[in-house]
């Protein structure tokens, strides 16, 4: 069993330290009020057992809570008071400077919590450490100065989660849809240098990657670009290459068809090189926050403005898929699955059925998913039903990163606008805590629910007001040079925060556990489902109420818990103990998802979750867990076609691992040792994470740097749906 110290370091559990602490308090009271050695041994033994029952690393604070409770159980109240007083005095000393020890532990790479906080950051790297150090300072300022005490306490107790406090001190937003079209067609400025409209496809790709890096360094969430914005540059290169070929053969009698054929062959090579630029620069770029940009690439044939552009876009998509199927080489020269860029492929009438014009492209997408976990899939059919503007017209567009969706919006000319818009931030409510705090009383549940929602509302307005008054000069690439707007120098971004131009998100987590506690059944049960839908509708109603009050687009968002799933689970265990089926895991369920252990087939799961996805307009994604599908592409296609007909946005979770020690190319497993979950190669039993490549999808994005113990247990517990 392991103990996590206050600075984040992990050490073996030592019962002698518990006994020593109790004896120290024991000596401070009169002899008649003291505990006996037998009682001290009993207390220490019970604390050890309680900690072991949690089946995870336990924090020092949790151990101390256990000790207090057990001393009280022994009726040694004088000893308990001395123990509590000493603990309080030490807390005051620590409060004088809350960041030093954590920062030092970051630098020395012995902070286990931080090591496992972000599955796409390597905490050994200086740039990551620098970002984490800045994050610790930001969190300290946020808690002491920028947030009200009630929100800080609710966040620390796990009642709500105030996301990205490590960036909140700065005037930064969450995620966005980059207006790549505007920047490429009208020019942009990067690091003080004017970048004019590119004169070839390959140059456009190169500029796109520079834009991606700049945007990532000026926000903290995901960003999305569309390949459609690169498509016009294919024909620019075509005409340029054709002119060059014609000049080469000017003195030779060559038919025009031959010139065109040679030109198209060279054009394909340029497209290949351009996509390689995007693929390799994105995975090798290191932004100011110490990681590759969280970028999503959108592939939607329906965005093309004419048939020529659509066919050119199809060539770009084909090359993108082929290169992703190949993967990237790791340090040993083996082709592995990269985390970025994330790919999204839109299923539409022209590609979803055998015999349709772009069916071969869809088959290629299925092969890519089977091999590399991406692309994920958006159903044009369902999205046009769900994303309807005030004129009654449906729209299909990409999410901002992994799952955060904008709401429909018409500009001042009445035209739909999505690229150039953004999300202001997220605050998440812990639905499980609402349920447990009510004790199962329905009337009390709704009362507590409204109180917690109002706390989220207050926190979201703090997020909004933190952005309000921000000058465009804070991030010129975003606000002045086209990524999100073309504001003047010295102009505030305030007008972009109102009227639906941007969104702000009420997140939610643990719907399954909430319903399980309140009804005794999973939300997939017909008797419990109505309660689950009512909970969802209630949160939507609140968002609508807040929107009308503030003219800000509040939107309900299915939170992609990564490290927070573990935090919430630990907080619930501390507050309510171990409740079978509710708090007996070291994680809680993402958003509305069916619990990972529940036996359900892929099609039933997608159909069931589609109703809840519709009630998460601010963003959500569903998934099905599948085995190795590389030899069963027809089954992948069947799932994709079902997605098209039934759900707006979904993905298939496959496995893509490699052991660098023995060359094993299969699923790396998870084993338990001394209360800790470890990754292990099933062939050579290698447990050195630096000598294996593991890729898993845990919250929309693929992670490749491992996860905390709660998320690791969730991955271990997953059942197959196909």
Q: In 3D, which of 515, 554, 559, 556 has the Cα closest to residue 533?
A: 515
Q: How many CB atoms lie within 10 A of CB 592?
A: 27
305: Cβ contacts below 8 Å, ≥ 6 apart = none
pLDDT of residue 561: 82
Rounded mean pLDDT of the chain?
91
Residue boundaries of the structural domains of the chain: 2-96, 176-347
Calculate mean pLDDT across residues 262-284: 94
Quickly list DSSP for 104-171: HHHHTT--HHHHTT-TT--TTSHHHHHHHHHHHHHHHHIIIIIS-HHHHHHHHHTSEEETTHHHHTS-
- Confidence bin at 5 (pLDDT 50/70/90): confident
Angle at 719 between CA 716 and CA 722, to 5 degrees: 140
Over residues 420-473, the pLDDT tens digits come to: 999 999 999 999 999 999 999 999 999 999 999 999 999 999 999 999 999 999
pLDDT of residue 123: 65
Q: Which of 7, 44, 351, 404 is flagged as catalytic?
A: 404
Q: For residues 655 and 370, what is the distance between their CA atoms, to the nearest angstrom? A: 9
Q: Which of 299, 315, 373, 400 is flagged as catalytic?
A: 400
Q: Catalytic residue at 248?
A: no
Q: Catalytic residue at 136?
A: no
Q: Which of 220, 358, 501, 557 is flagged as catalytic?
A: 557
- Confidence bin at 567 (pLDDT 50/70/90): very high
- Confidence bin at 4 (pLDDT 50/70/90): confident
Name the strand (E) or helix (H) holding 311. helix 307-326
Residue 33 is classified by DSSP as G
Q: In 3D, which of 204, 182, 195, 176 has the Cα closest to residue 316?
A: 204
pLDDT of residue 58: 84
Over residues 21-70, the pLDDT tens digits come to: 899 999 988 988 899 999 999 999 998 888 888 878 788 888 888 899 99
Q: Catalytic residue at 609?
A: no
Task: Return the sign of the alpha-carbon dihedral for residues 161, 164, 168, 172.
Answer: negative
Name the strand (E) or helix (H) holding 173. none
Q: Catalytic residue at 256?
A: no
Q: Which of 55, 59, 138, 174 is flagged as catalytic?
A: 174
HSE-CB of 329 using CA atoms within 13 angstroms: 5
Q: For residues 228 and 328, what is the distance between their CA atoms, to the nearest angstrom? A: 24
Q: Catalytic residue at 577?
A: no
Burial readout 208-223 (b: 16 or more C-beta within 10 A, e: otherwise)? bbbbbbbbbebbbbbb
Name the strand (E) or helix (H) holding 557. strand 553-558
66: Cβ contacts below 8 Å, ≥ 6 apart = 46, 47, 50, 51
Q: For residues 408 and 391, what is the distance between their CA atoms, to the nearest angstrom? A: 10
- Confidence bin at 256 (pLDDT 50/70/90): confident
Confidence (pTM): 0.87
Q: Catalytic residue at 571?
A: no
pLDDT of residue 244: 93
pLDDT of 124 > 70? The answer is: no
Least confident of 52-56, 484-488, 567-571: 52-56
pLDDT of 392 > 80? The answer is: yes
Least confident of 263-277, 289-303, 343-357, 689-703: 689-703
pLDDT of residue 203: 97
Quickly list DSSP for 438-469: HTT-HHHHHHHHHHHHHHHHHHHHHHHHHHTT
Q: Which of 8, 19, 44, 175 is flagged as catalytic?
A: 175
Residue of higher predicted confidence among 78 and 232: 232
CA distances from 563 to 118, 318, 501, 703 (A): 7, 35, 30, 12
3-state secondary structure at position 302: helix
pLDDT of residue 641: 98
Dihedrals phi, psi of 460, to nearest 5 degrees: -65, -35
Q: In 3D, which of 350, 364, 354, 355 has the Cα closest to residue 302?
A: 350
End-to-end CA distance of the chain: 36
What residues are paired with 336 via a beta bridge? 328
HSE-CB of 210 using CA atoms within 13 angstroms: 17
3-state secondary structure at position 82: helix
Q: In 3D, which of 301, 313, 298 has the Cα closest to residue 224?
A: 298
pLDDT of 250 > 90? The answer is: no
- Confidence bin at 2 (pLDDT 50/70/90): confident
Q: Which of 423, 522, 563, 646 is flagged as catalytic?
A: 423
- The pLDDT > 90 percentage for the chain reads 70
Q: Catalytic residue at 368?
A: no
Residues 613 and 592: beta-carbon distance below 8 Å? yes
226: Cβ contacts below 8 Å, ≥ 6 apart = 180, 181, 297, 298, 300, 303, 398, 419
- Confidence bin at 595 (pLDDT 50/70/90): very high
Q: Which of 117, 562, 609, 680 is flagged as catalytic?
A: 562
Residue 232 burial (10 A CB sphere; 0-12, 13-18, 19+): buried
Q: How many CB atoms lie within 10 A of CB 26?
A: 23
Q: For residues 674 and 513, what is the distance between their CA atoms, to the nearest angstrom? A: 28
pLDDT of residue 103: 66
CA distances from 540 to 365, 391, 427, 499, 525 (A): 34, 21, 14, 18, 22
Residues 616 and 557: beta-carbon distance below 8 Å? yes
Calculate mean pLDDT across residues 136-163: 93
Dihedrals phi, psi of 398, to nearest 5 degrees: -85, 160
- Confidence bin at 121 (pLDDT 50/70/90): low
Tell me the Cα Rg of the chain: 27
Residues 640 and 366: beta-carbon distance below 8 Å? yes
pLDDT of residue 99: 60
Q: Which of 183, 299, 373, 402 is flagged as catalytic?
A: 402
Name the strand (E) or helix (H) holding 596. none
Over residues 637-676, the pLDDT tens digits come to: 999 999 999 999 999 999 878 999 999 988 999 999 888 8
- Confidence bin at 298 (pLDDT 50/70/90): very high
Q: Catalytic residue at 402?
A: yes
Could you tell me where the DSSP H helices lie in 468-497? 476-479
Least confident of 10-19, 432-441, 471-480: 10-19
Residue 296 is classified by DSSP as E
What residues are paired with 653 via a beta bridge? 625
Q: Catalytic residue at 331?
A: no
């Amino acid at each position: 069993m392991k103990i996590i110290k206050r600075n984040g370091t992990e050490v073996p559990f030592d019962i002698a330290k518990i006994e020593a602490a109790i004896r120290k308090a024991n000596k401070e009271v009169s002899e008649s009020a003291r505990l006996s050695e037998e009682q001290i041994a009993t207390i220490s033994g019970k604390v050890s057992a309680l900690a072991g029952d949690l089946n995870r690393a336990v924090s020092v604070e949790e151990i101390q809570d256990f000790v207090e409770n057990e001393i009280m159980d022994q009726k040694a109240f004088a000893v308990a008071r001395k123990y509590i007083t000493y603990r309080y005095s030490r807390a005051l000393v620590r409060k004088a400077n809350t960041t030093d020890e954590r920062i030092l532990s970051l630098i020395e790479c012995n902070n286990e919590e931080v090591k496992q906080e972000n599955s796409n950051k390597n905490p050994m790297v200086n740039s990551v450490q620098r970002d984490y150090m800045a994050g610790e300072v930001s969190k300290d300022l946020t808690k002491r100065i920028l947030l009200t005490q009630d929100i800080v306490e609710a966040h620390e107790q796990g009642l709500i989660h105030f996301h990205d406090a490590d960036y909140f001190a700065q005037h930064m937003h969450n995620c966005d849809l980059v207006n790549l079209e505007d920047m490429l067609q009208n020019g942009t400025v990067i690091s003080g240098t004017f970048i004019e409209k590119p004169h070839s496809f390959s140059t456009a790709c190169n500029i796109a990657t520079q834009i991606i890096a700049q945007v990532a360094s000026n926000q903290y969430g995901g960003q999305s670009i569309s390949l459609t914005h690169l498509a016009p540059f294919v024909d620019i290169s075509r005409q340029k290459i054709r002119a060059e070929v014609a000049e080469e053969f000017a003195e030779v009698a060559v038919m025009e068809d031959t010139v065109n054929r040679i030109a198209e062959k060279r054009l394909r090579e340029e497209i290949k090189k351009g996509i390689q630029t995007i693929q390799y620069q994105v995975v090798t770029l290191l932004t100011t926050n110490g990681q590759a940009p969280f970028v999503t690439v959108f592939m939607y044939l329906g965005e093309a403005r004419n048939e020529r552009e659509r066919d050119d876009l199809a060539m770009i998509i084909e090359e993108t898929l082929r290169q992703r199927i190949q993967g990237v080489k790791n340090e040993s020269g083996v082709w592995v699955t990269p985390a970025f860029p994330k790919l999204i492929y839109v299923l539409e009438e022209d590609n979803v059925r055998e015999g349709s014009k772009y069916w071969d492209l869809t088959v290629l997408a299925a092969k890519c998913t089977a091999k590399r976990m991406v692309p994920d899939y958006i159903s044009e059919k369902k999205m046009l039903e769900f994303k309807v503007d005030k004129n009654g017209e449906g729209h299909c567009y990409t999410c901002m990163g992994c799952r955060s969706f904008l709401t429909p919006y018409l500009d001042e000319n009445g035209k739909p606008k999505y690229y150039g818009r953004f999300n202001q931030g997220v605050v998440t409510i812990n639905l499980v805590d609402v349920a447990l705090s009510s004790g199962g009383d329905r009337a009390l549940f709704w009362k507590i629910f409204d109180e917690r929602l109002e706390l989220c509302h207050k926190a979201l307005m703090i997020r909004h007001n933190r952005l309000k008054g921000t000058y465009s000069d804070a991030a010129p690439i975003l606000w002045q040079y086209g990524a999100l707007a073309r504001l003047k120098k010295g102009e505030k971004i305030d007008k972009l925060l109102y009227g639906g131009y941007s969104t702000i998100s009420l997140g939610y987590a643990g719907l399954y556990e909430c319903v399980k506690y309140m009804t005794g059944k999973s939300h997939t049960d017909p008797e419990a489902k109505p309660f689950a839908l009512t909970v969802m509708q209630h949160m939507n109603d609140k968002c609508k109420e807040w929107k009308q009050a503030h003219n800000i687009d509040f939107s309900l968002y299915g939170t992609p818990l990564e490290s927070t799933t573990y935090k919430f689970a630990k907080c619930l265990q501390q507050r309510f103990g171990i409740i079978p089926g509710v708090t007996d895991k070291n994680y809680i369920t993402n958003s509305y998802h069916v619990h990972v252990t529940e036996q359900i087939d892929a099609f039933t799961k997608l159909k069931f979750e589609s109703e809840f996805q519709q009630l998460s307009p601010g963003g959500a994604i569903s998934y099905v867990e599948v085995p190795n599908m590389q030899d069963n592409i027809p089954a992948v296609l069947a799932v994709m076609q079902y997605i098209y007909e039934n759900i707006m946005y979904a993905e298939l979770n496959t496995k893509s691992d490699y052991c660098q020690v023995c060359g094993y190319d299969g699923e790396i497993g998870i084993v338990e040792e001394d209360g800790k979950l470890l990754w292990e190669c099933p062939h050579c039993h290698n447990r050195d994470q630096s000598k294996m490549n593991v890729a898993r999808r845990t919250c929309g994005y693929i992670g490749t740097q491992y996860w905390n113990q709660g998320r690791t247990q969730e991955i271990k517990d997953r059942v197959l749906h196909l």
